[in-house]
Amino acid sequence: MNFDHIKAIGFDLFNTLIHVEPDTLKKANKRLISSLRQSGFSIEDEPFQKAHLQAALRFIEQTKRDGRETHNRFWISAALEELGYPVSPDDARIAGAVDAYFSAFFDSCRLIPGTLEMLETVKGPYRLGLLSNFTHAPAGKAIMDLMGLAPHFEVTLISGELGYRKPHPLVFRRLVEELHVDKAEILYVGDDPEPDIYGALQAGLQPVWSTYVRDHNIPRGSGILSRGNEMPDGEVPRISSWPDFLSMLSKP
């Protein structure tokens, strides 16, 4: 496959450029519960975790139907109400708990080997954009800063700000608009077949399937919104490392 016509590259974030340690979600939930207790809610671990998971799954089911992004504050509010604490999702105590939850990610994110070097190589010849499914955009941007990723991108789009998440066509349309090139001139690199590969294909972009995390048996720890382990159909370029990617781009 020839990529001479490509002028821009879009990247997914989690499990494409970075991954998280396997115990991240466990740490995040502990910090969430601790924050709520410090705010005066007398909650026990198991009942809250059960109510929180059930609430999250309800909101996620709606997200799968219409593509609209959900947010952790709604899950927490619904869980607290289930346990007898009617609290608005916009309550400052819930905002503090959300921040506490995502603070666990700041300690646990790791770059895929060679990521910064790869970005440094491609950011001259190509315009670079990031398009990530992540409910809490401030945390996503903070992670990018901590990992040294932010300076490499002309465009950074996170579903928590956009209001929709991949594979909804709106988010890919925004990527195309902000990169200022034709959709057929954009590669989109991601690990998750449904949102990344099928989403890009349906939007008219050329997807590239990154399987480093899959091939190295690294747990997909970015959250319960991850889609799973399905395989893309058809002729989609597959890479298992950034040298693979650079080699693919350089082929005539």
Last residue of one domain, picked from the residues 107, 142, 176: 107
**Kind and range of the H or E element at 66?**
helix 45-66
Q: What is the DSSP letter of 246?
A: H
* 184 and 233 both lie in a single domain: yes
Q: What is the pLDDT of residue 233?
A: 66
* 92 and 154 both lie in a single domain: no
Q: What is the pLDDT of residue 71?
A: 97
Q: What is the pLDDT of residue 220?
A: 74
Last residue of one domain, picked from the residues 73, 107, 141: 107
* 118 and 102 both lie in a single domain: no
* 124 and 246 both lie in a single domain: yes
Domain region containing 39: 24-107
Compute CA 136 distance to the chain's CA centroid, rounded to the nearest angstrom: 10
* 131 and 12 both lie in a single domain: yes
What pTM value is reported for the model? 0.94
Q: What is the pLDDT of residue 228?
A: 52
* 28 and 121 both lie in a single domain: no
Residue with tokens 């991240």: 24
Number of domains in the chain: 2
For 5-145, list the strands marked E by DSSP.
8-11, 18-20, 109-111, 127-132
Average pLDDT, 10 consecutive residues per value, the chain (252 residues): 94 97 94 98 97 96 95 98 97 98 96 98 97 97 98 98 97 98 98 96 97 90 56 83 96 76
Last residue of one domain, picked from the residues 91, 107, 123: 107
* 37 and 120 both lie in a single domain: no
User: Cis before residue 167, ω within 30 degrees of 0?
Assistant: yes
Q: What is the pLDDT of residue 111?
A: 98
Residue 178 sits in a domain of what CATH number?
Answer: 3.40.50.1000
Residue with tokens 């997200």: 63
For residue range 18-68, list pLDDT tens digits in order. Answer: 999 999 999 999 999 999 999 999 999 999 999 999 999 999 999 999 999
What's the rounded Cα separation, in Å, for the pair 41 and 43? 6
